[in-house]
């Protein structure tokens, strides 16, 4: 059974990783707890749902959802975050909470509070290797998540834009002195973060075969936040490792302890972890910030 | 004139850090800006590079108003500002630090320039794949100056490049500044080490609590009685 829990934990953990990457990068750059992250990508997931409903190909539907998330965050960054970027820590956080409410109300207005079936057309077939059961969907989720994470880390390491993001996350004024158009790059990080969040959210909904209003905050922002705290705020590596650990913990708790009280136990583990290692597993990032 | 600052006033909230400052930098010259702690030297450089916006006055560069431009446009116009305190990007490698310095460039000679710097400073070359945060203070200072040159600037703004370095490293830094100057880059050098700065400079300005109190050729400033008393240690 152990191996089965590992597989389950890694596949849900990699979904959390996609959700956490955008969240953690924004935190790394702006030290902003982006409380709107989940609700912004939730809108993108509902757009994907709508496009699937309109008989679009699933790839088109997901790309459409990503575009929606990307565009929303470009607008939100410009009008809700940029004007308050240097107004301390509280104001931008309040701004983010406001955006989260607006997004939730948009979903409420259009789709209401009900739960919809969510199906991205991958047949949930299963096969077994030894005693371990693999779902095809699980394999897809794992592959897509891993591919996107490799893609993002290559983007950060190897492209000019990616290196600009890495520089900005260390010092905004010094990055500006390199000639980097800081505002434009930060807006891009928001946009790409939301688009990745949409992929994570869509895979999450596909995993549970349903979608509802709550995927944004409870299952998105909170998990992204927990992953980032565990992994270490501000880095790609921290987001991914924290998310995988979160996924594994959830899987082990439901497997060995209790399914019903899973979240309570996971929170217990989380709080214990924060008490022991408050900076997370990869804490170097922020302390080196100039 | 390559750069002209006219009647510049800059405020931090209610504190006026620069008051009616005028200064000009001639093409090809090394101009130095001296002054005690808190005189406003860094504030002036930050305003030139667009990190701060003036409250009054203007900055003209090659006949164009500069004070309305964002920092990235200032860099693209040919001004590179090497900030005080050796601001390397500590998590990026030595190589990546140099490469990001060329962010505004579109030509194909970036790699060649990086290799040239590595040839000239073998200690940086040996550490090309190490994080810049792990370099010594002197190596970091060399790195940030090279990084500032990677944009191939016309005008280089240097903020206290000798601060906190051992004497033999300070000599190395000054030798590099003179070499950059010889290659035709115009330099505005902010320093607390007035003697060394005036020895390499063509012209000097002295700033006291936000005002220019003296402006002359470097030679005359070195010889002047008042400057000798307050800035050159008697
Ligand atoms: N961010 C800021 N907020 C408020 N006041 C500031 C700020 N930065 C600088 N000042 C003030 O403006 C004045 C000029 O500071 P500035 O850093 O330009 O001086 P400086 O000549 O570069 O000094 P140093 O030799 O110590 O680097 C000082 O009185 C300083 O306290
Ligand atoms: Mg200064």
Quote the domain boundaries for residue B42. Answer: 3-85+153-231
Helix B94-101 to helix B110-120 angle (10° resolution) is 130
Nearest ligand to the C-alpha atom of residue B194: 1
Q: Do A288 and B133 make contact, defined as CB atoms within 8 angstroms? A: yes
The dihedral region occupied by A180, where left means phi > 0, alpha psi between -120 and 50, and beta the remainder, is beta
Give yes or no for residue A92 having a pLDDT over 70: yes
pLDDT in tens, A67-81: 999 999 999 999 998
Longest dimension (CA), chain A: 58
Segment A111-118 shows an average pLDDT of: 94
Torsion of CA B149, B153, B155, B161, to 10 degrees: -10
Residue B125 lies in a domain: no
Q: Which of B49, B71, B96 sits opposite A163 (nearest CB)?
A: B96
Chain B environment of A176 (Cβ under 8 Å): 50-51, 70-72
pLDDT of residue B213: 94
Residue B135 lies in a domain: no
Segment A51-59 shows an average pLDDT of: 93
Q: Measure B225 CA to ligand 2 centroid, in angstroms.
A: 25
Residue B61 lies in a domain: yes
Q: How sure is the predictor about A258, in pLDDT bands with cuts at 50, 70 and 90?
A: confident
C-alpha span between A195 and A66 (Å, rounded): 4
Q: Which of B13, B14, B42 should be mutated for ligand 1, with most atoms under 8 A from CB?
A: B42
Residue B57 lies in a domain: yes
Give the CATH number for residue B32. 3.40.50.300
Q: Do A285 and B91 make contact, defined as CB atoms within 8 angstroms? A: yes
CA of A178, closest CA in chain B: separation in Å?
A: 5
Ligand 1 pocket residue status of B101, Cβ below 6 Å: no
pLDDT of residue A138: 81
So what's the ipTM on this one? Answer: 0.95
Q: Which of A166, A179, A284 sits opposite B76 (nearest CB)?
A: A179
Chain B nearest-CA residue for A174: B87
Residue B168 lies in a domain: yes
pLDDT in tens, A22-54: 888 788 777 777 889 999 999 999 999 999 999
pLDDT averaged over every residue in chain A: 88
Instruction: Kindly state whether A171 is in contact with chain B, defined as any CB-CB distance less than 8 angstroms.
Output: yes
C-alpha span between A210 and A201 (Å, rounded): 11
The pairing of beta strand A132-135 with beta strand A126-129: antiparallel
Domain boundaries, chain A: 14-211
- In this structure, the number of other CB atoms found within 10 A of the CB of residue A25 comes to 27
Residue B133 lies in a domain: no
What is the torsional sign of CA A60, A62, A66, A72?
positive
Q: Which of A170, A174, A285 sits opposite B83 (nearest CB)?
A: A174
Residue B10 lies in a domain: yes
Q: What Å distances lie between residue B185 and A273, B78, B79, B158, CA to CA?
A: 54, 10, 10, 12
Instruction: Kindly state whether A114 is in contact with chain B, defined as any CB-CB distance less than 8 angstroms.
Output: no
pLDDT of residue B143: 97
A156, A161, A178, A283: which to substitute to probe chain B, counting the most B Cβ within 10 Å? A178
Give the H/E segment covering residue B61: strand B56-61
Q: How sure is the predictor about A283, in pLDDT bands with cuts at 50, 70 and 90?
A: low
Chain B nearest-CA residue for A289: B90
Q: Do A173 and B83 make contact, defined as CB atoms within 8 angstroms? A: yes
Q: What is the CA angle A227-A229-A232, rounded to 5?
A: 100
């Amino acid at each position: 059974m152990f191996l089965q829990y590992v597989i389950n934990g890694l596949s849900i953990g990699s979904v959390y990783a996609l959700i956490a990457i955008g969240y953690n990068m924004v935190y790394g750059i702006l030290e902003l707890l982006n409380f709107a992250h989940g609700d912004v990508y939730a809108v993108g997931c509902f757009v994907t749902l709508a496009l699937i409903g309109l008989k679009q190909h699933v790839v088109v539907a997901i790309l459409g959802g990503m575009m929606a998330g990307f565009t929303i965050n470009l607008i939100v960054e410009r009008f809700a975050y940029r004007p308050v970027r240097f107004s301390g820590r509280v104001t931008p956080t309040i701004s983010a909470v406001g955006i989260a409410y607006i997004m939730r109300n948009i979903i409420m207005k259009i789709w209401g509070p009900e739960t919809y079936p969510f199906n991205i057309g991958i047949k949930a077939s299963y096969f077994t290797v030894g005693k371990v059961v693999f779902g095809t969907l699980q394999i897809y989720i794992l592959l897509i998540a891993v591919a996107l994470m490799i893609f993002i880390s290559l983007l950060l390491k190897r492209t000019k834009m990616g290196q600009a993001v890495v520089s900005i996350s260390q010092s905004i004024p010094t990055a500006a002195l390199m000639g980097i158009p800081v505002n434009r790059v930060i807006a891009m990080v928001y946009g790409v973060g939301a688009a990745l969040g949409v992929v994570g959210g869509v895979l999450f909904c596909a995993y549970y075969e349903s979608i509802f209003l709550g995927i944004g905050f409870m299952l998105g922002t909170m998990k992204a936040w927990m992953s980032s705290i565990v992994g270490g705020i501000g880095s790609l590596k921290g987001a991914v490792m924290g998310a995988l650990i979160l996924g594994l913990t959830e899987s082990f708790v439901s497997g060995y302890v209790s399914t019903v009280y899973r979240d309570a136990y996971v929170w217990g583990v989380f709080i214990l972890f924060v008490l022991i290692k408050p900076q997370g597993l990869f804490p170097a990032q922020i302390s080196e910030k100039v | 004139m390559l750069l002209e600052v006219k009647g510049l006033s800059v405020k931090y909230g209610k504190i006026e850090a620069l008051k009616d400052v005028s200064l000009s930098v001639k093409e090809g010259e090394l101009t130095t800006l001296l002054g005690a702690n808190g005189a406003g030297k860094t504030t002036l450089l930050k305003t030139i590079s667009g990190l701060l916006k003036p409250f009054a006055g203007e900055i003209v560069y090659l006949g164009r108003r500069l004070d309305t431009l964002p920092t990235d446009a200032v860099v693209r116009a040919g001004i590179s500002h090497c900030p005080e305190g050796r601001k390397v990007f500590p998590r990026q490698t030595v190589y990546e630090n140099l490469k990001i310095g060329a962010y505004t460039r579109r030509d194909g000679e970036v790699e060649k320039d990086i290799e040239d710097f590595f040839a000239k400073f073998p200690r940086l070359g040996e550490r090309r794949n190490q994080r810049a945060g792990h370099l010594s203070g002197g190596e970091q200072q060399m790195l940030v100056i090279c990084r500032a040159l990677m944009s191939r600037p016309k005008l280089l703004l240097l903020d206290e490049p000798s601060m906190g370095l051992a004497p033999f490293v300070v000599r190395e830094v000054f030798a590099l500044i003179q070499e950059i100057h010889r290659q035709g880059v115009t330099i505005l050098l902010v320093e607390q080490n007035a003697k060394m700065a005036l020895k390499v400079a063509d012209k000097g300005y002295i700033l006291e609590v936000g005002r220019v109190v003296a402006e002359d050729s470097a030679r005359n400033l070195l010889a002047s009685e008042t400057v000798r008393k307050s800035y050159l240690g008697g």
